[in-house]
Structure 1
Amino acid sequence: MAEYSATVSKPTLGVAPEDATSHHVRDSKGKLIGFQNPHPSAGVLRNTLQTVGKMFLSRLQGKMPAPDLSNVQIPVIKPYFLEEKSEAQNSDTKTLRATWLGHACYYVEYPNGLRVLFDPVFEDRCAPSRYLGPKRYTQPPCRLADIPKLDAIVISHSHYDHLSEPTVRELAANNPDAHFFVGLGLASWFRDTGIDKVTEMDWWEDATLTIKKPSTSDGKETMEEIEAQVSCLPCQHSSARTGWDKDTTLWCSFAIKSGGKSVWFGGDTGYRAVPEMPAEEDDYGPKYDSLPRCPHFKHIGELRGPFNLGLIPIGAYRPRWMWSGLHSNPYDAVEIFKDTKCEKAMAIHWGTWVLTIEEVEEPPKLLKEALKTSGLPETGVFDSCAIGETKEF
């Protein structure tokens, strides 16, 4: 009997807007050397030393207090995974199961048995050091070894809260057949880490993952085939793992369609850069209507949507003048949800590490306000959940 096998087609450009490669940065000889956010919605890149200096002064003046972690009430529960892929196929052929494992990490079980893990980071700190950098205030709901065998692992970009070397090493050891999908330029990092089953992709490229695995039906052993379309899509962000590799690898969102269901994973993204303003002012008020919005998401919705489920970031957004070009707040997230034509959505990119200065339990509360302001139901359309909780779609 043949064993499990997975093959990936060479990525090819799919349906895309005319400016599909405007994010490429090339040198005078035409060699690709990096990437950029091509739209005004990203704002102006600020000088790092000036930004750090302004942050330090603001903290001294009491304008940027650290969030209070003394009584955090974000629930963490033990996840329930379907032990066998046949359970997913036999339970309900129309059901997509999505389990939040903290921050941007989601484990998704498709109705045909496909299993995908997005942006897993299980370390205590999301930093180059075990001893410095943001430390977890909520714990992972399970061990990596508890996650059932994976078919695909998707990494949106190289920042430490989305890409962890110890995590991907352990996942690769536990799942030797799983394939990694990453943005352009990042495959060499994986190969240097000892992981060869990796496909790097550019925005608007599609690849087909084909899985063949033994299956038993009516007492007879057969080979079952599962096919998934993996699409690398745009977002508005940046990349770096050191002080000298900024924006040399691509940041992405991803869509995966399989078994009659589709998921769009936003990864980490901004939506519209806003200027510094008084705290009481609403940057979605009439005064700021003219601020440019990132067109990527309308393009995704129009050219690749609709999607059954969106996994959309809602956290790490204050102060807005600093982070709005790179991180979406809940009001941005609702606009992204509508632009991408997701039928339902779950919130990611909150509840795990202190990355910015908003109170850690504020994002889901603000999400309800944003939904109400937008005329959408406060629950049942775009929700948050406990870490470890599974929702079905």
Structure 2
Amino acid sequence: MASSAITILYALSISAPPVSSYPDDAGKKEHHVHGGFKNPWDSWRTIGFGDMWRLASRQLNGHANKPDTTPPTVPVRKPEFLPSRETSKLRATWLGHACYYVEFPSGLRVLFDPVFEDRCSPVSWLGPKRFTEMPCEVRDLPVIDAVVISHNHYDHLSYPTIKEIAKTHPNCHFFAPLGNKQWFTSSGIHNITELDWWDQRDISLSPSHESKVEVGNSTGSPPSSATDIEARISCLPCQHTSNRGIFDRSKTLWASWSIESGGQNVYFAGDTGYRAVPDLPIGTDDYAPEFNFPSCPAFKQVGEFRGPFDLGLIPIGAYDPRWFMSPMHADPHDAVRIFQDTKCRKALGMHWGTWVLTEEDVLEPPQKLREALKRHEIPEDGVFDVCDIGESREFE
């Protein structure tokens, strides 16, 4: 490595902080149901068998749009990660879809929803295939202190990727919503903490010369230039669902997350919808004054109790057809409202440009994002942006 600071082993320990404030309704745990979880808001609509049949029929009868993935689409560049833990600015690198690598000025390094496979699928030979290349491999990441998982869908939680991270970065600790710990432990990974909505944990990384992998083990005499790294991670609500098979729908929880470290606060929205929109004629503006569909109240609560945020990582893709996808996937107009509700100062888009999961054209999300920003009189550049895959952006 280019700097001795990056080669120092940081032993990680986790503790429960003093109870922070949270919404009055959070203690009711209305998202808990027998054997699983639910979205407890009017903004949610459960997708039924009839909806899925209708969606499949669109493919069979030729009514579905088939996005053109012929290159060029989204530019891909080789990431340039920092050679050490030293940086004066918050830095985020988009690695495709919902995966971001975030470098905090405190020295903390966090990887969100990593999937480094060609297909997001239970098998390597079937399922959605990347139309943009992976910008790097797991081995190219200089250090990973924490991996944060939003939920267990295959485009957000990948067994081969998680196993490779655990092997390459054995001191890395994994964070996931309730119900996901068993998946990790059955995969041979025990550096895992699962949390419920509004739960928090404090993270402390202490520098050590010793090559220990046990969580909380710290020995040796670190150089005087190496200091402890402190952070607080919060598991927060969002509107989605979960499953990895046919019979496990909503058995594990989904979540958004925040991480605060060194005076910088980052919000990761994960995979989420904002409001359930019914079937409307093509081209209908579902935010027109005559429509008043309920929006998810959790985002304003996140902004009030955990915001404001220096940076939001917010999904903008996989939304068409709207009548099917809107309960669980935000479109760019929803994304701007999530940005505002959560009190993010800046944001970067994600959940697009990697796999064809839905019917919108592959370059449509950033176009619609610009329209949404203009509608809300938000500058189109420098506030809520998109970037190339592999590109890093810095924030004060």
- Please give the TM-score of this superposition, normalised by the length of structure 2: 0.91
Once residues 357 and 143 of structure 2 are traced to their aligned partners in structure 1, the CA distance between those partners, rounded to angstroms, is 31
Q: Are 1:301 and 2:303 counterparts? A: yes
Deviation at 1:63, TM superposition (A): 2.3
Unaligned runs of 5+ in 1: 27-32
- CA-to-partner distance for each residue in 1:75-101, whole Å, 9 max, x for gaps? 00001101221x32xxx2xx1010000
Deviation at 1:375, TM superposition (A): 1.1
2:216 corresponds in structure 1 to none
- Please give the TM-score of this superposition, normalised by the length of structure 1: 0.92
Q: 1:373 aligns with which of 369, 375, 393?
A: 375
Instruction: Please give the root-mean-square deviation of Cα atoms over the aligned residues, in Å.
Output: 1.6
Deviation at 1:10, TM superposition (A): 3.8
The 5 A counterparts of 1:222-371 are: 224-288=227-291, 290-371=292-373
Deviation at 1:238, TM superposition (A): 0.3
Which portions of structure 1, spanning 4 or more consecutive aligned residues, are displaced by more than 6 angstroms?
Answer: none
SS in 2 for 1:364: helix
**Identical columns (%):** 53
Once residues 250 and 14 of structure 1 are traced to their aligned partners in structure 2, the CA distance between those partners, rounded to angstroms, is 21
1:160 corresponds in structure 2 to 154
2:64 corresponds in structure 1 to 64
Once residues 379 and 169 of structure 1 are traced to their aligned partners in structure 2, the CA distance between those partners, rounded to angstroms, is 38
Deviation at 1:223, TM superposition (A): 5.6
1:193 corresponds in structure 2 to 187
Shift in alpha-carbon separation, 1:60–1:245, aligned structure 2, 3 A: closer
Amino acid at match of 2:48: N
1:55 corresponds in structure 2 to 55
Once residues 11 and 185 of structure 1 are traced to their aligned partners in structure 2, the CA distance between those partners, rounded to angstroms, is 22
SS in 1 for 2:290: helix
Unaligned runs of 5+ in 2: 1-7, 210-221
1:29 corresponds in structure 2 to none
Deviation at 1:134, TM superposition (A): 0.5
Once residues 242 and 40 of structure 1 are traced to their aligned partners in structure 2, the CA distance between those partners, rounded to angstroms, is 26
Once residues 254 and 11 of structure 1 are traced to their aligned partners in structure 2, the CA distance between those partners, rounded to angstroms, is 16
Amino acid at match of 2:340: K
Amino acid at match of 2:30: S
1:30 corresponds in structure 2 to none
Shift in alpha-carbon separation, 1:51–1:242, aligned structure 2, 3 A: same
SS in 2 for 1:15: coil
Once residues 220 and 196 of structure 1 are traced to their aligned partners in structure 2, the CA distance between those partners, rounded to angstroms, is 29
Asked if 2 retains the 8 angstrom alpha-carbon contact of 1:15 and 1:204, the reply is no
Asked if 2 retains the 8 angstrom alpha-carbon contact of 1:184 and 1:249, the reply is yes
Once residues 11 and 214 of structure 1 are traced to their aligned partners in structure 2, the CA distance between those partners, rounded to angstroms, is 24
1:25 corresponds in structure 2 to 33
Asked if 1 retains the 8 angstrom alpha-carbon contact of 2:106 and 2:230, the reply is no
1:117 corresponds in structure 2 to 111
Once residues 223 and 338 of structure 2 are traced to their aligned partners in structure 1, the CA distance between those partners, rounded to angstroms, is 47
How many residue pairs align between the two structures? 374
